[in-house]
Amino acid sequence: MSIERRGRVYRRCSCRDETGRQLGQSCPRLATDGKHGTWYYAVDMPPAPGGKRRTMRRGGFPTKAAASKALTDVTNRTAIGVRVDDRETVAAFLERWLQVKAGESKATTLRSYRAHVENVIVPAIGHLPIERLRAEHVEQLLDDAAVGRGPQTVRRIHATLRSALTYGVKTRRLPYNVASNVTPPNGARPEVQPWTAGELATFLRHVETDRLGPLFEVVAACGLRRGEALGLRWCDLDLSNRTARIRQTVVDVGGRLRFDTPKTRASEATVSMTERAVHALAQVRLGQELDRAAWGDAYEDHDLVFARENGAPLRPEYVTRRFVALSKAAGLRQVRLHDLRHGAASLMIAAGVPIAVVSKMLRHSSIGITADIYHHLNEDTARAASDAMGALLEAAFATASASGGDHTATTAGTAGTEELTEADETAGQLRGPRGDRTHNPRIKSPLLCQLS
């Protein structure tokens, strides 16, 4: 037996005497057979909240070194104030974490967390004790999760586990976060390919007579998220100033609809509307007055702009299905309903609206998110700006050449004149009497040569 800090390591067996009593450490074979029995450790734990002393005993280790290593791990954890419970599994820990998140997360966020935990993480590593979870387990989890899933989804699964383990570190349940240094797949974000202006116009003309047509008009004009459009209220609108304030969203939680706050704090903002959108909303109001009269006292008044005939909120999945059906009927290539929001951004960028303004219109939490999503559209805009600048330079050069005539260099050696050297001829420049270089309008620069 040896002493390890506040604990001890010892060997015992399961042999029994004539009465059936287990011999444990007193078995005579332990002194003569070094392979008999297994190794255990015992360590005094911090007192429980009631002040009662506790001793942790664990055994079954094949060697003394293995038992000593396990004991050292326990004493190191308790020394830095980490709670030790080697029987709590990853599944049990994540369930506790989800209960905590239920009181502070949005319903849609919690639903995403739970889907990742129950469908991916727990089936793979839920059986492991949380204290034995290592980086290699997380790496294997992400590798397995990548089969049949895109990089974005795998990164979200990794973010869920990392968030849960961060909670464990903050609450002194874990000494460190084993998922922090694991790198998820680095797949590029897929480029958004929303409808062009012509395709969008075709769709909006096709849905003009559909009950949900005005909803799609407003989503496309304002870049709203689906839930934000469904949660829009008349009290949030100022039709005279063509503005809408985003204050709530409709979410589906386990089949039940509920109102929630927008996705982020930046999402709670005022957006501008087009004249077309305002006209569409005026038509919606007239239709709702007819619905209200038809339903009478049975009408559910939530002050919603877009609602069912009885005033109840529209189901998000129904709106998506209707969008898909209408876009197919219009003969258009398939895009997501959310791509109407992307389309609003792409049209603004194509029109030359600064990316900072686009970011504010979409109510992203940072301009970096906007730039990351629409980087390829920014490149197109930058290319168009470069072409426009080149055209202006070419026009200016043509004007200067037409008005100034042909300029030639005079004979070398005359005071105040300029000499053209062979090297400068190639570079498109002149060298003066003192060696200084001046522009020669007769010789085009490489950039202008390309534009000509």
Q: What CATH number corresponds to the domain at position 160?
A: 1.10.150.130
In angstroms, how far is CA 125 from the centroid of its own chain?
Answer: 24
Same-domain check for residues 29 and 166: no
CA atoms of 156 and 229, how far apart (whole Å)? 25
> What's the full length of the chain, in residues?
452
pLDDT tens digits, 31-42: 889 889 999 999
Q: What is the pLDDT of residue 187?
A: 61
**CB-CB contact of 232 with 244 (8 Å):** yes
Same-domain check for residues 230 and 340: yes
Structural domain contains residue 12: yes
Residue 373 has pLDDT above 80, yes or no: no
Among 356, 388, 403, which residue terminates a domain?
356
Residue 405 has pLDDT above 60, yes or no: no
Q: What is the pLDDT of residue 204?
A: 93
The CATH number covering residue 322 comes to 1.10.443.10
Structural domain contains residue 52: yes
Q: Mean of the pLDDT values across residues 36-65? A: 84
Residue 432 has pLDDT above 50, yes or no: no
Same-domain check for residues 219 and 301: yes
Same-domain check for residues 118 and 17: no
Q: What is the pLDDT of residue 159?
A: 94
Same-domain check for residues 59 and 95: no
pLDDT tens digits, 80-110: 888 888 889 999 999 999 999 998 888 888 9
Q: What is the pLDDT of residue 191?
A: 67
Q: Mean of the pLDDT values across residues 419-428? A: 41
Percent of the chain exceeding pLDDT 90 equals 44
Domain count along the chain: 3
Q: CA nearest 246: which of 226, 267, 219, 216?
A: 267
pLDDT tens digits, 342-358: 888 877 877 777 778 77
Range from 282-291, 348-357, 365-374 that averages highest in pLDDT? 282-291
Q: Mean of the pLDDT values across residues 114-119? A: 95
Among 130, 155, 170, which residue terminates a domain?
170
Instruction: State the Cα torsion 332-338-343-345 to the nearest 10°.
Output: -170
> What tokens does 134 get?
């290592």
Same-domain check for residues 36 and 110: no
Give residue 258's domain range: 197-356
Same-domain check for residues 140 and 218: no
Same-domain check for residues 23 and 105: no
Q: Mean of the pLDDT values across residues 404-418? A: 45
Same-domain check for residues 302 and 271: yes
Structural domain contains residue 382: no
Residue 376 has pLDDT above 90, yes or no: no
CA atoms of 72 and 276, how far apart (whole Å)? 71
119: left (phi over 0), alpha (psi -120 to 50) or beta: alpha
Same-domain check for residues 100 and 211: no
Same-domain check for residues 290 and 202: yes
Among 316, 341, 356, which residue terminates a domain?
356
Structural domain contains residue 214: yes
**This prediction's pTM:** 0.56
Q: What is the pLDDT of residue 412?
A: 41
Lowest average pLDDT, out of 147-156, 205-214, 402-411, goes to 402-411
Q: Mean of the pLDDT values across residues 16-43? A: 90
Per-residue confidence at 341, pLDDT binned at 50, 70, 90?
A: confident
pLDDT tens digits, 187-240: 656 666 888 888 999 999 999 999 999 999 999 888 888 999 999 999 999 999
Structural domain contains residue 435: no
Same-domain check for residues 70 and 123: no
CA atoms of 177 and 168, how far apart (whole Å)? 8
DSSP secondary structure string, 53-115? -EEEEEEEESSHHHHHHHHHHHHHHHHTT----TT-BHHHHHHHHHHHHHTTS-HHHHHHHHH
Q: Which residue has the higher pLDDT, 218 or 4?
A: 218
Per-residue confidence at 46, pLDDT binned at 50, 70, 90?
A: confident
